[in-house]
Amino acid sequence: MTFDFGNANEAQRIAISTTDGPLLIIAGPGTGKTYTLVKRIVYLITEKDVLPEEIMIATFTEKAAKELITRITNELYAIGVSVNLNEMYIGTFHSICLRILKDHLEYTRIKKNYRMLDNFDQQYMVFQKINRFRTLPYFDVIFDKKQGAWRQAGEIVKYVNNLAEELVDIDEMQGDADEHIVAVANIMKQYNILMEDENLIDFSSIQTEAYKLLTEEPSILEEIQQKIKYVMVDEYQDTNYIQELLVFLIAGKSKNICVVGDDDQGLYRFRGATIRNILEFPGHFSEGECKQVKLVTNYRSERQIIDFYNKWMSTTDGRAYDFMWKNFRFEKKIVPPEGKKDAKVGVIKCSGKDLLDDWYEQVYLFITQLKSSGVLTDYNQIAVLCKSVKGDKIIGMVEYLEEHGIKVYSPRSEMFFERKEIKQVIGCMILCFPEYVRKLQQRDFSYDFENLYKYYDTSCIAAARELILQYRDTLGKWIAEKMQKHASLRKDNADYAFTGLLYQLLQFEPFSTYLGIDMKSGVIDERPARNLSILSSILGKYEYLHRIDVFTEKNIIESVERFFNMYFRFLFDGGITEYEDDSEYAPSGCVSFMTIHQSKGMEFPIVIVDSLNGTPRSSGNYLLEEIENKYFHRKVFETREDIKFFDFWRLYYTAFSRAQNLLVLSCCEKKGHGATPSKYFEECYEKLPAYEDVNLSEIKLEKVKPVNIKDTYSFTSHIALYENCALQYKFFKELGFTQVRVGATLFGKLVHETIEDIHRAAMRHEEQTIVPETIREWFDTNYMTLSKCEHSYLGQPQIEAAYKQVLRYVERNQSDWSRIQDAEVEVSLVKPDYILLGKVDLIRGEGDTVEIVDFKSEKKPDVLIETAEMNRYRRQLEVYAHLIEEKTGKKVSKMHLYYTGEDNGVPTVTFNKSTEMIDKTIKEFDEVVEKIQHKDFSGRAKDKNLCANCDMRHYCRRKGDC
């Protein structure tokens, strides 16, 4: 059977069918890169008989990974090829490295139940431990004594993140004659000690720990090299030093490495990325060994737009500037497809003169003319691209358009704290704490936060007082009750902290209306509910970090003051990004405002490019440059004096090439000092016609292409939750509210993880280690990491009861370890519209017949009583059995629930597998997922116990839904 290349052009066909040995694909903008990648993967599987699990595909973003997974599974599904996604290595470098680490944790410094730090967590962790850094030798050499702890923590994190993935030798740096370099080395060493002591990892340490594991454990490297036969890397121009090392390490001697990228779109130097990786890739192999393919046929943009950005890249001299690309880019010329008819209008300008309001008005008039003429059918056909969406100038344009009836989608403008619902809810929460309100009124602060004080006083509290006047008998009465309660906490603690207080507050208007939004109404209308969800995460994280379960007489004053004056100030100063939906990058009815970096990989019918006052700027740090010169493993690649030009040209090339039908250069023109446009845009800008001088009605616009991303669902986290209560699903899955009342899980996790250790030892053929002494070590280590991670503890009787369950399991099965075939097995079922994920605790058996086991750390229930819970377990096991048979080709004869809490009786409940029942269950899952995807959250809980333990019970009771 001949392979179906679809509409692939000749260059794409070569890229798809060139599978053995190294391959470099230079893919210009709009040249069908993702299409080529997907077809190449399908070609490997169907034509070269490569198993899906033998392919690793590294992407730059999680969104790109999801899109690849969707398109690959759709292609394979269409030709009847089944694939277990959990076997494939598809994801970002970070997610792939994290998977490798999870599979081999016992060989790393990381223990189970580690905590992953995001950027804010990382800085806050250092802030909390700042004295551990301030006492280091030479600390004051690189830090100003007047600099506050929070800013110092930020600088420390910058040094760590910039240097960790370059694998600098810290010990060698500590011996340097320069005190500044020694200070940085001391900081990095202290940071690494903290990370190990607290069992933490951050984004940079994921990759460094994975590299360390693979280089220090040859058997694991060999295992991965034998498994992965083909390595593919997308956006290779944005990879860094350690990522390149990982690519060549994993590929090994096979050299089956395909890298794809565009050197002209390398934007992430500030994250350690280097263009040299893609430019020097062929040099890693012998002469002529690395095949190169250039994709230059652009299917996205009109010819005028293509010509415009081609000329931008080739124009490297002008008034007061001159640089040469030399060997720092691949020579290429992007072209439209042969025979494509040219549009009459492709590139124009839309500008104001001197005054910002004049510019805003011109942009508004341009948009409304397009709309009234019928050319523009949806505002989402327009994207405004800027270097930053946080500045006053851009926020002013956003506000102007919204005031004139044009909705704007700009989640990264960091307008979170300016949203009405956030001001209202913060104000109401503040008023619940009379002692804190008194201190605000008297300006009695432990921290310097004048800007935040004004925000609380004039924005939040003022907004709350308006609500109290409006809802005096409900919201007002409740706040008065809370004030009284919090002012007199004595013997009786509250049964809530910040998050619980928020959930009580949400029962009242206007918050209940925000939550009651129809989830089909669009991202702008959903925004208040999603922002309240983000706030719940902020509150939950604060409670976790400071171990606050409930308000008490001892903690309430300090906790409240620390939260509002310190923790919130850090978030307020740093800004918070609002909700973004990967499946809808351009929501219908909205003009999108985004950074140029954010727009990478996207396309829009109309692109308005701002930031034309920009100039090339050096952003180097002298100390980091000195460390780079002395301790990086590769010398500086590009000429330092030209780097600012290279990065500037690449940035705007990326912006210009997002446009499909119309590219608009836009600015508020200004002469003299700080001229706009700057001299770097003079030549290309001046020649453009103004929008008033062209016939806009001649423009033909594409529709925004829908993003095709399959959602993934698991039985326990999604299907069962929705079946129990669709409204709970809406709040905790769809909107993402943080759950507080999740029940006591520490006991069960402790038993489960220790049994997992036993299974892993058996699979390593180390049965001799499965003895009480070693089991106790595993058990105690698991308890230590779990309690540290969850900030919860068990009493000694509970600890011993959990240990007894583990020992009892060993006693019952110690002569049977050889039957274990696999444990903690992740499986997936690919459906046309979604992917179902699951994890099987244990597979055991002999030959081609196996049994699957799911563990429960409780006493066995009365099996004669058919409960809804038992039925749910059976359905789950039936589907898992089906997936195991699909994955392994082995027959599943039985399915067991194993109750470790059963003392004397038979600890298992056994089900026989029925194909008819499996088909019925999968059909039921299809129906549930269809309801979820259609945003049908009308179902309500039928079990009153479920309502009693739900964080949203106050909201539901007042609405009559409980």
Tally of CA atoms within 13 A in the half-sphere of 563 that contains its CB: 27
Rounded CA gap, 693 and 432, in Å? Answer: 59
The verdict on residue 335 lying in a domain is no
Task: Indicate the DSSP class of residue 335.
Answer: B
Q: Are residues 260 and 119 in the same domain?
A: no
Q: Are residues 644 and 783 in the same domain?
A: no
Q: 72 to each of 22, 228, 259, 706, 711, how far by Cα in Å?
A: 22, 18, 18, 17, 14
Q: What is the pTM of this model?
A: 0.92
Task: Fill in the amino acid letter for 485.
Answer: K
Nearest in space to 300 (alpha carbons), one of 630, 654, 38 = 654
Angle between helices 33-47 and 62-78 (to 10 degrees): 50
Q: 765 to each of 141, 295, 523, 621, 841, how far by Cα in Å?
A: 54, 50, 53, 52, 18
Find the CATH number of the domain harbouring 920: 3.90.320
Find the CATH number of the domain harbouring 53: 3.40.50.300
Q: Are residues 617 and 566 in the same domain?
A: no
* Domain around 611: 347-410+582-698
Q: Are residues 648 and 751 in the same domain?
A: no
Total residues found in the chain within this entry: 962
pLDDT along the chain (962 residues), means of 10: 90 97 97 96 95 93 91 88 81 96 93 93 96 96 90 96 95 97 98 96 95 97 96 97 97 94 94 94 95 97 96 87 90 93 91 93 97 96 96 95 96 93 98 94 74 92 97 96 90 88 97 95 92 96 93 92 93 90 88 96 96 89 92 90 94 98 96 90 93 93 91 90 94 93 77 95 92 95 90 90 95 88 89 90 91 92 74 89 85 93 91 87 93 94 84 90 73
Direct distance between the N- and C-terminal alpha carbons of the chain, in angstroms, rounded to an integer = 59
The verdict on residue 839 lying in a domain is yes
- Identify the pLDDT of residue 87: 80
The verdict on residue 38 lying in a domain is yes
The verdict on residue 279 lying in a domain is yes
The verdict on residue 318 lying in a domain is no
Copy the structure tokens of residue 672. Answer: 């003299």
Rounded CA gap, 772 and 18, in Å? Answer: 55
Q: Are residues 726 and 797 in the same domain?
A: yes
Q: Are residues 642 and 719 in the same domain?
A: no
Q: Are residues 659 and 524 in the same domain?
A: no
- Identify the pLDDT of residue 1: 59
Rounded CA gap, 610 and 777, in Å? Answer: 61
Q: Are residues 236 and 278 in the same domain?
A: yes
Residue at which a domain ends, from 671, 698, 725:
698
Rounded CA gap, 499 and 496, in Å? Answer: 7
- Written as one string, the DSSP assignment of 772-812 is HHHHHHHHHHHHHHHHHHHT----HHHHHHHHHHHHHHHHH
Task: List the beta bridge partners of residue 591.
Answer: 408
- Please report which residue ranges of 337-417 form alpha helices under DSSP H: 356-372, 392-403
Q: Are residues 747 and 600 in the same domain?
A: no
The verdict on residue 476 lying in a domain is yes
The verdict on residue 784 lying in a domain is yes
Copy the structure tokens of residue 458. Answer: 């004039």
Q: Are residues 681 and 587 in the same domain?
A: yes
In sequence order, the 6+-apart residues with CB closer than 8 A to the CB of 738 are: 499, 533, 536, 537, 539, 540
Residue at which a domain ends, from 295, 317, 334:
295
Residue at which a domain ends, from 271, 295, 319:
295
Domain count, the chain: 5
Going by their DSSP bridges, the two strands 908-912 and 891-899 should be labelled as antiparallel
The verdict on residue 788 lying in a domain is yes
Nearest in space to 935 (alpha carbons), one of 723, 729, 708, 738 = 729
Q: Are residues 642 and 499 in the same domain?
A: no
Q: Are residues 401 and 473 in the same domain?
A: no
